[in-house]
Structure 1
Amino acid sequence: MMTQRKLYLGALTDNRRWDKVTIRPDDVFVVTPPKSGTTWMQTIVALLFSGDPEVETELSVKMPWVDIRIREMDEVAARLEAMPHRRSMKSHTPLDGLPLDGQAQYLCVFRHPLDAHFSFRKHVGNIPMPWFDHWYPEEDSDGITFRRFLDGGPEGFDTDAMPLAHILRHYEAALAVADRPNVTLFHYADMRRDLPGTFARVASLLGISHPAEVMDLLVQAAGFDNMRANAIRYAPSGGKGFMKSDAAFFHSGTSGKWHGQLSDAELAAYDAAMDAHLTPDDRAWLEYGSAGADPGATS
């Protein structure tokens, strides 16, 4: 089966695990680079599936991250196979490394690469995985972390450290199949600007409808402040002690955190890397979504 897909093997990722999953036509895949809106989109899907603003999402069990090596794949596959209801799964593997079914829905979420990077910096400090210290040292006066962000490769050992090349691979792989009716690209900035519109779009893709008053409650439940205030419910493996702080998983939810954090030389190197890979229009969307421009920029 892997002959049709790129191989992604990292410290955490093994996309060969997908070979043990039997896809159903109504499955929903949430496919994103890390810290780009994965949990948010999973929560939207869980709320739409249930129609219950109080649903216990338990994402790591009910909507598992299939690629991650932490759980035995036979156990994950058996749990998925035993689910009598509609299923959703998450992946941080680019679409060219996933099984692409003709009917299952693929929801791909992206975020400004620099926002995702700085959010990931916070995230690795909140999880007990010393493997990340090599890329994300606690003291980094020499700028090692950003250099590795720019220099890292899209696959292999670098995969799980989320270098820019991995984000770009995600984006290019999604664009390559974006003409399919079951592959849809979302942007974190658009979700922030119009959460009700995002709910309506996802509901339409999934063929789900709820009365307007129910949808209003579901949208409120997926608001950032509510998810952070109820982090034990909404964070992956919330309440299990996996992270030092479940609330810190929802660090701020804002954009532009990188402003003032990088030198002119670092920004120039980032610009060069982006322009080498993307057309101006594709770059504008990856950074700012449908607005296509920095809302904080002055002309």
Structure 2
Amino acid sequence: MAHRKLYLGPLTDNRRWDMVDIRADDVFVVTPPKCGTTWMQTIIALLFSGDPEVETELSVKMPWVDIRIREMSEVAARLDAMQHRRSMKSHTPMDGVPLHDRAHYICVFRHPLDAHFSYRKHVRNIPMPWFDVWYPEDDPDGITFRRFLDGGAEGFDTDAMPLAHILQHYKAAAAVADRPNVSLFHYADMTRDLAGTFARLADVLGISHSDSVMHQLVQAASFDNMKANAERFAPSGGKGFMKSDSDFFHSGTSGKWRGALSDADLAAYDAMMDAHLGPKDRAWLEYGSSGTAPA
């Protein structure tokens, strides 16, 4: 931990990374929650295997290392026993993840308001009642959005995903984005061009498949296919962890916050975004490579 920032939350303990022996061909998926983490992990699993029918079993085969739920000794032993190329997940910003010179880091982002509204839906689908403090089911006074804007980037607030934490994720990733082994992806670009996302990621990871295989892999990672086969693709799918595996893949669309926030809410959000990011960075964080909202 000597060269990493400490992130401790109700779910997160990034000191757990100290027990992982990193390999040069490891692939880290580093994202704020609800920004396309599972989608990106699935794409990587498909590219690793070249098999559109592969059983991804992400929570076991590509574990979320910094979550406290599983004993770290067991997670570390499982990772150490893997003979194939490994991938791991983290919701810790890049300044809290061990940065290896040759391992690959895939950082995925989404419009902060889309991520926030997706998280609102997600917390109703998981058995973790402490989220009710931040995300009350009945919220006529708008507590949830106020806490989204007011929450800190670290400490207890970390796992409730306030805007400050998303901004910390983006700044930490952007600070190392000039490294050849760090790549930034955006949910909007994945939605607009999934085949292009596969091609770019395959190039980044040095993976090659025939055009026909790539076409099958892209189809397997489509939103409709993942939702239709939610027990296979959702984290811990088929094990009863979530109330509904299918609801994990709620809609895959963007912009659900439009019409749901007041002018004052949006003005407060704009002020915070503009205080932390320049116009170019803000445009990318919200809309990806297009830099503008879809027509």
The TM-score by the shorter chain falls in which range? Answer: over 0.9
Q: How many residues align?
A: 295
For residue 46 of structure 1, report the CA deviation from its aligned partner: 0.1
C-alpha distance in structure 1 between counterparts of 2:74 and 2:91, whole Å: 20
C-alpha distance in structure 1 between counterparts of 2:152 and 2:43, whole Å: 31
1:219-238 superposed matches below 5 A: 219-238=218-237
1:133-212 superposed matches below 5 A: 133-212=132-211
For residues 79-130 of structure 1, give each alpha carbon's deviation from its aligned partner in whole angstroms, at most 9, with x where no partner exists.
Answer: 0000000000000000000000000000000000000000000000000100
For residue 3 of structure 1, report the CA deviation from its aligned partner: 1.4
> Are 2:114 and 1:92 aligned?
no
SS of structure 2 residue aligned to 1:11? coil
SS of structure 1 residue aligned to 2:219? helix
C-alpha distance in structure 2 between counterparts of 1:190 and 1:258, whole Å: 19
C-alpha distance in structure 2 between counterparts of 1:143 and 1:195, whole Å: 35
SS of structure 2 residue aligned to 1:106? strand
C-alpha distance in structure 2 between counterparts of 1:257 and 1:185, whole Å: 24
Q: Which residue of 1 aligns with 2:268?
A: 269
C-alpha distance in structure 1 between counterparts of 2:225 and 2:256, whole Å: 21
Return the TM-score normalized by structure 2. 1.00
C-alpha distance in structure 1 between counterparts of 2:76 and 2:259, whole Å: 45
Q: Which residue of 2 aligns with 1:120?
A: 119
1:286 alignment partner AA: L
Structure 1 vs Structure 2 CA RMSD: 0.4
For residues 255-293 of structure 1, give each alpha carbon's deviation from its aligned partner in whole angstroms, at most 9, with x where no partner exists.
Answer: 111100000000000000000000000000000000101
1:176 alignment partner AA: A
C-alpha distance in structure 1 between counterparts of 2:2 and 2:107, whole Å: 23
C-alpha distance in structure 2 between counterparts of 1:170 and 1:55, whole Å: 30
For residue 209 of structure 1, report the CA deviation from its aligned partner: 0.3
C-alpha distance in structure 2 between counterparts of 1:8 and 1:86, whole Å: 27
C-alpha distance in structure 1 between counterparts of 2:256 and 2:138, whole Å: 19
C-alpha distance in structure 1 between counterparts of 2:153 and 2:238, whole Å: 32
Q: Which residue of 2 aligns with 1:18?
A: 17
For residues 132-181 of structure 1, give each alpha carbon's deviation from its aligned partner in whole angstroms, at most 9, with x where no partner exists.
Answer: 00000010000000000000000100000000000000000000000000
C-alpha distance in structure 1 between counterparts of 2:215 and 2:29, whole Å: 22
C-alpha distance in structure 1 between counterparts of 2:69 and 2:128, whole Å: 12
Q: Which residue of 1 aligns with 2:36?
A: 37
SS of structure 2 residue aligned to 1:33? coil
For residue 59 of structure 1, report the CA deviation from its aligned partner: 0.0
> Are 2:13 and 1:7 aligned?
no
C-alpha distance in structure 2 between counterparts of 1:29 and 1:3, whole Å: 20
Q: Which residue of 2 aligns with 1:76?
A: 75
C-alpha distance in structure 2 between counterparts of 1:204 and 1:194, whole Å: 16
For residue 30 of structure 1, report the CA deviation from its aligned partner: 0.3
2:158 alignment partner AA: T
C-alpha distance in structure 2 between counterparts of 1:222 and 1:155, whole Å: 33
C-alpha distance in structure 2 between counterparts of 1:59 and 1:295, whole Å: 31
SS of structure 2 residue aligned to 1:138? coil
2:266 alignment partner AA: L
For residue 5 of structure 1, report the CA deviation from its aligned partner: 0.5
- Any gaps of 5 or more consecutive residues in structure 2? none
C-alpha distance in structure 1 between counterparts of 2:252 and 2:38, whole Å: 12
1:154 alignment partner AA: A
SS of structure 2 residue aligned to 1:3? coil
Return the TM-score normalized by structure 1. 0.98
SS of structure 2 residue aligned to 1:107? strand
C-alpha distance in structure 2 between counterparts of 1:108 and 1:254, whole Å: 20
For residues 60-85 of structure 1, give each alpha carbon's deviation from its aligned partner in whole angstroms, at most 9, with x where no partner exists.
Answer: 00000000000000000000000000
C-alpha distance in structure 2 between counterparts of 1:257 and 1:213, whole Å: 35
For residue 31 of structure 1, report the CA deviation from its aligned partner: 0.4
SS of structure 2 residue aligned to 1:275? helix
> Are 2:293 and 1:288 aligned?
no
- Any gaps of 5 or more consecutive residues in structure 1? none
C-alpha distance in structure 2 between counterparts of 1:28 and 1:287, whole Å: 25
1:26 alignment partner AA: D
